[in-house]
Amino acid sequence: MTLRALTLIAATLAGTALSAQEGPRFGLQAGVNIPQSDLKDAVDSKPGFTIGAHGTFDFRGGHMLRPRLDYTWFPEYSVSGGGASASAKFSNISLGADYLYFVEGKPQGFYLTGGLSAMRWKAELDANVLGYGYSTSEETTKLGVAAGVGYQFNRTVGAEVRYLKSKAWESDLDMIQVGATFRF
């Protein structure tokens, strides 16, 4: 995704957010990531974690926009044998926005969500073969697409399940995110 495309998306979101009926509310989210597809092999099926911050803009009638910034990481995956050892770590920082549609027409209860984000993936590899060490890291920015469902219990606390699809380094880095949201 080019810088020009990201700038256009950000400007569109900012213009839309400014027309919201109510001022923004800010919050935090945290969750667990269950790796899918190629990501499952890359992290040895170990779950990862996400923390982040967001703003919400309520457009009434059950429509809401949620710009968000997330940091996701997976525990280090290590293998060894035959005089060699290796470890890998994967993480990403994503900036994007989600559209939320509340079925009951108010910002509480069951909702559907879909979103787009720019995801900055980082892979770190450390290897040691017969006493010779090698380290490398690589970063790339790719588009992420998410869809899911959630439930907003009250004005402050909600829960959500999302499927996030992303590609990097010729691999599908998909995950299921299960998390909680907190608004202030």
Q: Give the per-residue pLDDT at 17.
A: 47
DSSP state of 122: E
- Which pLDDT belongs to residue 53? 98
Rounded to an integer, what distance in angstroms lies between the CA atom of residue 93 and that of residue 145? Answer: 14
**The predicted structure's pLDDT at residue 51:** 98
Nearest to 107 by CA among 75, 155, 72, 146: 155
Q: Where are the domains of the chain?
A: 3-183
Identify the three-state secondary structure at position 172: strand
Distance of alpha carbon 11 from alpha carbon 112, whole angstroms: 24
- Per-residue confidence in pLDDT tens, the chain, 184 aa: 565 665 556 555 555 544 445 679 999 999 999 999 999 998 999 999 999 999 999 999 999 999 999 999 999 988 888 788 999 999 999 999 999 999 999 999 999 999 999 999 999 999 988 878 889 999 999 999 999 999 999 999 999 999 999 999 999 999 999 999 999 9
**Residue 15 DSSP SS3:** helix
CB within 8 Å of 169: residues ≥ 6 apart: 121, 123, 138, 140
The CA-CA-CA angle for residues 89, 162, 36, to 5°, reads: 45
Please give the pLDDT value at position 130.
81
CATH class, range 3-183 = mainly beta
pLDDT of residue 20: 46
